[in-house]
């Protein structure tokens, strides 16, 4: 196995680890996609391609259907068709918001293999890292909300510590405000003081309304 293909396999494994449930859908079109992917596994590429086409007729630019068609073409030995579909997928995401990041990344890894393009593999790794980071931040926010709702501010503050590490300290203004409130509420005053300095004037006014005169 070539170095590029080995790297591609590692990237796909990493992508699978973060995309569980990320592409769950319901309805007849989704059933068609699942059936088409099952056809791929059994080598029934023509039938898989027809199912991909059918989905795209009613669901234009669906990334999973495009990926299904590209894999079907590749399975039938039509590399040019596979490259064409995957290039179109990439162009759509560059032009507008990407509707399915995980399918897009998988498509780009396949495209990199077909074109023997190591630079594209590196870009795909970057996108996987960004996706991991986004999912991680979402999970931290969900967990903090849960702890606050449960009346567990210390646990919420501890989770915010992890969020700060995950962002490398690059917090949004809203996150700084959130962190300050959590730290101040559980008397972690040194941490609260550091974030207070970074609050906007408007946020500092809001804080004073909530807590009164701020004392460290």
Q: What pLDDT band is residue 96 in, cutting at 50, 70 and 90? A: low
Across the range 118-138, mean pLDDT stands at: 72
Report how far residue 30's alpha carbon sits from residue 207's, in angstroms, rounded to the nearest whole number.
48
Given a cut of 50, is residue 191 above it in pLDDT? yes
Assigned superfamily of 3-130:
Tetratricopeptide repeat domain (1.25.40.10)
Q: What is the mean pLDDT of residues 51-79?
A: 92
Helices 63-75 and 101-115: crossing angle in degrees, nearest 10, is 30
For residues 17 and 103, the model is more confident at: 103
Reported as type and span, the H/E element at residue 85 is helix 79-95
Instruction: Report the range of poorest mean pLDDT among 10-19, 77-86, 103-112.
Output: 10-19
| Residue 143: predicted pLDDT | 83
Per-residue confidence (pLDDT) for residue 84, from 0 to 100: 94
**What are the residue ranges of CATH 1.25.40.10 in the chain?**
3-130
Has residue 56 got a pLDDT over 50? yes
**120 vs 110: CA distance, rounded Å:** 10
Residue 7 has pLDDT above 50, yes or no: no
Structure confidence by residue, pLDDT tens digits, 135-167: 677 778 878 887 887 888 999 999 999 889 888
**pLDDT at res. 2:** 53
- Residue 149 and residue 158: Cα distance in Å, rounded? 15
Q: Which of 34-43, 94-103, 157-166 has the lowest mean pLDDT?
A: 94-103
Cβ burial of 116 (10 Å; 0-12, 13-18, 19+) is exposed
Instruction: Give residue 17's pLDDT band: very low, low, confident or very high (50, 70, 90).
Output: very low
């Amino acid at each position: 196995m070539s170095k590029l293909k080995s790297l591609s396999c590692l990237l796909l494994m990493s992508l699978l680890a973060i995309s569980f449930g990320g592409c769950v859908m319901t309805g007849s079109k989704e059933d068609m996609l699942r059936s088409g992917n099952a056809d791929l596994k059994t080598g029934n590429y023509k039938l898989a391609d027809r199912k991909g086409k059918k989905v795209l007729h009613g669901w234009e630019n669906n990334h999973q259907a495009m990926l299904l068609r590209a894999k079907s073409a590749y399975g039938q030995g039509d590399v040019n068709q596979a490259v064409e579909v995957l290039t179109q997928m990439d162009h759509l995401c560059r032009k507008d918001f990407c509707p399915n990041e995980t399918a897009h990344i998988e498509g780009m890894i396949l495209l990199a293999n077909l074109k023997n393009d190591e630079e594209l593999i590196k870009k795909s790794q970057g996108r996987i890292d960004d996706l991991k980071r986004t999912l991680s931040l979402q999970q931290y926010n969900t967990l903090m909300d849960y702890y606050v709702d449960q009346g567990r501010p210390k646990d919420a503050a501890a989770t915010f510590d992890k969020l700060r590490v995950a962002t490398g300290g690059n917090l949004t203004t809203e996150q700084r405000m959130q962190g300050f409130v959590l730290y101040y509420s559980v008397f972690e005053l040194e941490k609260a003081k550091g974030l207070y300095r970074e609050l906007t004037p408007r946020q500092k006014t809001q804080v004073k309304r909530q807590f009164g005169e701020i004392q460290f």
